[in-house]
Structure 1
Amino acid sequence: MEPLRKRFKTFHDYCRYRDSSVYHTINTLPLELLYKIFGYLDIKDIGTLSLVSHTFRVRVTDWISTRVGMKHATRYPQQRIREISIDEDDEKENEILSTVDFSCMSEEREFNAWITTCKNFAIFAKRLTMLYGTEKRLDFLKTWAAKFREMSLGDLSPGDDWSQVVEVSGMSTILANFTAGWDESEFSPVLAFLDQLYDIRRKVTAFLESDSPAAEIEREVRLVLRTFYWDHGVMCSNFLSHLFHSYLDLDMQDISRILFLMMGPTLEGHEMTGIKYKDLTIFQKKMVYKRCCVPNWQYCRVDTAITYHEAKDTMEDFGQILTVLFNSSKIDNEDLYCIIDNLVGLDDDIYGSSWLIDNISTMLLFTSGDLIKNYLLHLNNDRTENFIPSIIVAMVVICDRMDNELCPHGKEGVSSILGWVFSNFPQHQKETLYNNFWEAAMDRTVEMDITISMFDQLGEFFLREATKPENPLLVQNQIQDKLEQEDNCPMDDVEE
């Protein structure tokens, strides 16, 4: 066949070819054949195809509105997941391929497949509606998402906790990926869209206006806000700032209550025994526990974590979301420190007592080093001279309790916070700070909260700090006095 570049000797020849039926074959395909071709393509690629021309955008829009198109969109990209079984006769691994049924998923791999499918559908919808305005794009998404949910999940039990987790997780994944990269001016329509789905503004208002809100309200608000803004949602500090200040117009105390509702430890443990949860797998229980169970508002005031896993389970989410807000340009740092004060009960305490000092320190250790240092400076301006030493001694206690080293090799640990405090706090405070620190450390040692091993690490740390030339002579003299007191310990006379 003669190459095209030789056939088109003039531009007129090319125009005649362009207007011929050969050029327009793809646009004149029967819909049944075109839809058959779509069935071999990934859903995201079909979204890209819709950007080729107005004709293709119309055809793809018509296709996704059909049952065939939506069924294709709800299929897992690999269409099948792999299970491994062992043949007891020859001990060989056999691969069993089974189709994904999202309506009865119960394991983590099936849930992850559902999230991936929702993400791909969102990217498809984002590309297909790219040339429309914000309101029209959200209208399209609302219509398609309802059909997508019906086609993929079927008739889920409306009052079942696991069904709610699956549905809200899918919708939050779709909305987060659909709106990724949107300008802040478009946040309000997104929040209004969320409000239409879950009536979130009314529920948040009912929660904040009551000192003892109904457990069902707490569960619904926690599920929606935590899922959309943290677990599978936008995870964007700008979105949170817009939600708190523009859409809901909350003060610092209300924001702290919302944050605890979203991230606080719950009343029920991972076991969750009872008829309601007897058929759930371990993974399902974990998901329901994190997202649906009512938070325990008194836990941080009366109990504390003993193991690292318990501390991570109860405090890590607090630390991470505070770090996100700290790194945001939309929330003033002083406002954030006020939010933390209200969260842990240091200001305007409406619960009768503040958090245990160990829980405050644990939460701070799950944030960033910069946030810890700036918050300690904030506390130094507003609290008594004993509070900062108590906080950093509690950090040492938590470090010891979690079997961590004070100065871990190759990375910063609690020792970096100690060194920064004693190096950067005002000179006139250092002697008092140092004395109060050792007094608090001795008290915690008497209470068996600090082991001898950790106390030895503290001694080694301060000995290294004292020998640094940039440290003030005052601290060196204080350490020397401590060492001399230890040399003259009364226990030595007893042994002699």
Structure 2
Amino acid sequence: MTSPKRTSYTLIPNQKYRRSCRHYNKFSNILETDSPSLSTLGNFKALPLEIFQMVLEYLPVKDISMLSMVSKAISSRLINYISTSRGNKRLLLQDFHNPELSSSRKGTSILEHYRSLGLLLKRCTLLLPTKERLKYVHKILLEISCFKLSGCSDPLHCSGLQCYGVFLQTLTAGWDEIECHRVYNFLCELSSLPRKVQTVVSSKPGSAQKLELRIRIFCRSVLLNHWVHRSDSAFWLTRILKPWPMVNQARLLYIIFGPASKLDGHVVWQKMIEDPTDETSLKGLAGAIKLLYDPEAKEWTADDVISLVDELAVVPQEWLLENSARLLILCGNNICFTFMASKAVNGRAIELARLVVFLALVCEKDLYCMDWAVKMMQKVCKVFNTSGEMNNFLQSVENAFAHIIMDALQSVISGEHDEEDSSFLNLFHLVNAQANFHKEILYLTMRNNT
């Protein structure tokens, strides 16, 4: 995908794609080509087709791929071979549930095998238009059930979709965006992905756990995980999210990148609501948000991304503010500041003040430099139009510290303890956060006055 300009998912330019002018014949069981001159077969012209195919049995897939570029006649013979039962058995490995065979097959991982197979089919179908290439590839892979969204009985322990992902990444690498739109539409048609997404985003969270898991694995393994360039990952993530309203985008983002159970892989919907979480549970979401905020993600504005973050923080219900603060820190300075500045200009100073307190708390708990939180607050102060608005905000920060610490103290006094005594520990961190936060303010003030 080299085109610098992107179009939306729903608007595909009505024009001929680049290979449509090339002459080709449709195939039935095998690809048909014009009768090639035997002279282009070189020394292979002396071999019967059966012997030629036996020779291929001894060649690595990478070498067969190189061979396909020798001539159109050779490529035609290779496509004939791929379409035979012998070729299928040799090339379409299906050791997806055997850890030993999946990690190594005669010294080559099954992932690398399908990467090489993708390159082979890319070269063999070079003269076909995109639509026919996809139909041919689908016909070759049709019988592999583990390549289907709902085809595997144990998707959590299957490497099939990962293999399909590296295969597609290799096949489509370098295609322009119009062609990649067609690839995504083709995959949606085969997998019924939009219909299944509609089911999970319109249902009660967790009511379709198995389908949520399948969508998560399919989107990550097939469409998102194998790209080298961030712009490519952003393109495919945009294809997944953009057709849906913002509220559904947030739900879908949580399904794909949110925390999941280590036991069964199911999405953990209550993780952000009930207790403070750790960085591991939030890194996937933060990475996706940064991907969409990147300047190369042309179809997303800063306002779009900030609105998505705001919507995400109430999926499936309002998150603990500590978890929202931890997500913003993981998203980086630009997103964190833009999110806070948005609250400042929209008159949500009290919400912003509470957020500052929890940013300080996360810095204290996770051992970040506290001066980062102070400098972020200082930068946000410059967004306010008047000194009066800024002073009211600073007063709200102090009030928020007091109220949140008193709430924590009340929890300790009332005896609401658990086995880990988290109430007292939380109070301890809050008091230290306030002390270290104000220490950094004093340092900053003294430096400016000397």
TM-score class, shorter-chain normalisation, is: 0.7 to 0.9
Q: CA deviation at 1:320?
A: 0.6
**For the Cα contact (< 8 Å) 2:374–2:441, is it kept in 1?**
no
- After the TM superposition, which residues 285-296 of structure 1 pair with which residues of structure 2 at under 5 Å, given as runs? 289=265, 293=266, 295-296=267-268
Change (3 A) 1:436 1:20: closer
Q: 1:177 to 1:395 in 2, by over 3 A?
A: farther
Q: Which amino acid is 1:371 matched to?
A: I
1:204-353 equivalent positions in 2, closer than 5 A: 204-211=197-204, 213-232=207-226, 236-245=233-242, 249-266=243-260, 269-270=261-262, 272=263, 289=265, 293=266, 295-305=267-277, 311-327=278-294, 328-345=297-314, 353=317
Counterpart of 1:438 in structure 2 is 398
Q: How does 1:7-406 map to 2 (within 5 A)?
A: 24-32=42-50, 34-35=52-53, 37-73=55-91, 102-105=96-99, 109=103, 113-146=109-142, 149=144, 158-162=152-156, 165-211=158-204, 213-232=207-226, 236-245=233-242, 249-266=243-260, 269-270=261-262, 272=263, 289=265, 293=266, 295-305=267-277, 311-327=278-294, 328-345=297-314, 353-406=317-370
Distance 1:167 1:54 in 2: 31
Deviation at 1:421, TM superposition (A): 2.8
The code of the aligned residue for 1:369 comes to N
CA gap of 1:61–1:166, structure 2 versus 1, over 3 A, is same
For residues 220 and 21 of structure 1, what CA distance do their matches in structure 2 show? 50
Residues 75-109 of structure 1 show CA distances to partners (whole Å, capped at 9, x for unaligned) of: 7xxxxxxxxxxxxxxxxxxxxxxxx9544227995
Look up the equivalent residue of 2:77 and give its one-letter code. Answer: R
AA matched with 1:389: A
* Structure 1 residues 27 and 37: alpha-carbon distance in aligned structure 2, compared to 1, 3 A threshold: same
Shift of 1:56: 1.8
User: Matched residues in 2 for 1:74 and 1:416: separation?
Assistant: 56
1:39-88 per-position Cα deviation (integer Å, ceiling 9, x unaligned) = 4544234223322321121122122223444454357xxxxxxxxxxxxx
The answer to whether the 8 A contact 1:319-1:367 is kept is yes
Secondary structure of 2:42 counterpart: coil
Task: Write the distance in 2 (CA, Å) between the matches of 1:64 and 1:434.
Answer: 70
Where do 5+ consecutive residues of structure 2 fail to align? 1-36, 409-426
Q: Contact conserved, 1:35 with 1:63, CA < 8 A, in 2?
A: yes
- Provide the rounded CA distance (Å) in 2 between the counterparts of 1:315 and 1:22: 57
User: Could you tell me how far apart the structure 2 residues matched to 1:414 and 1:38 are?
Assistant: 63
**1:407-486 equivalent positions in 2, closer than 5 A:** 414=373, 417-422=376-381, 426=385, 428=387, 429-444=389-404, 447=408, 448=427, 450=429, 454-455=433-434, 457-467=436-446
Deviation at 1:258, TM superposition (A): 1.2
1:132–1:157 CA distance, 2 compared to 1 (3 A): closer
| 2:69/2:75 contact within 8 Å kept | yes
Question: Taking structure 1 as reference, are residues 468 and 238 closer, same or farther at Cα in structure 2, changes over 3 Å only?
Answer: farther
**For 1:361 and 1:104, how far apart are their aligned partners in 2?**
42
Cα 1:398–1:133 shift into 2, 3 Å: same
**1:43 and 1:72 in contact (8 A); partners too:** no
Cα drift, residue 418 of structure 1: 4.0
Q: For the residues of structure 1 that align with 2:75 and 2:38, how far apart are their CA atoms?
A: 22
Mind listing any 5+ residue stretches in structure 1 that lack a counterpart? 1-18, 76-99, 273-287, 306-310, 408-412, 470-475, 481-496
Deviations 1:153-212 (A, max 9, x none): 9xx99433445x422222223223322232221234322332344221221222334446
1:338 partner letter? S
**Separation in 2, partners of 1:157, 1:184:** 28
Instruction: Report the Cα distance in structure 2 between the residues aligned to 1:22 and 1:381, rounded to whole angstroms.
Output: 71
Q: Aligned residues, how many? A: 384
Deviations 1:336-375 (A, max 9, x none): 2222222112xxx8x5x52111111111122132111212
Structure 1 CA distance for aligned equivalents of residues 70 and 304 of structure 2:
48
CA change 1:256–1:21 in 2 (3 A) is: closer
Asked if 2 retains the 8 angstrom alpha-carbon contact of 1:187 and 1:242, the reply is no
**Alignment check: 8 A CA contact 1:304 1:359 kept:** yes
Hey, what's the Cα distance between the residues in 1 that align with 2:252 and 2:191?
A: 17
- Relative distance call for 1:105 and 1:443 in structure 2 (3 A) is same
Identity score, percent: 20
Post-superposition Cα deviations, 1:264-292, rounded to whole Å, max 9, x if no partner, equal 223xx42x3xxxxxxxxxxxxxxx52xxx
Residue 134 of structure 1: how far off its partner (Å): 0.7
Structure 2 CA distance, aligned partners of 1:223 and 1:238? 18
**1:398 shift after superposition:** 1.3
Cα distance in 2 for residues equivalent to 1:64 and 1:22: 20
8 Å contact 2:83–2:140 — kept in the other structure? yes
Q: Does the 8 Å contact 2:119/2:170 carry over to 1?
A: yes
Aligned-pair Cα RMSD in Å? 3.7
Which letter does structure 2 place at the counterpart of 1:202? R
Is the CA contact 1:244–1:255 (under 8 Å) kept in the aligned structure 2?
yes
Alignment-mate amino acid for residue 64 of structure 2: I
Larger Rg: 1
Which has the larger displacement, 136-145 or 420-429?
420-429
Deviation (angstroms), 1:419: 4.6
**Letter of the structure 2 residue corresponding to residue 339 of structure 1:** L
Tell me the amino acid that sits aligned with residue 311 of structure 2: N
Q: Distance in 2 between matches of 1:107 and 1:375?
A: 47
The TM-score, its normalising length taken from structure 2, stands at: 0.73
Give the match's secondary structure for 1:131. Answer: coil
> How far is the alpha carbon of 1:22 from its aligned partner?
11
CA separation of 1:300 and 1:23: change in aligned 2, threshold 3 A? closer
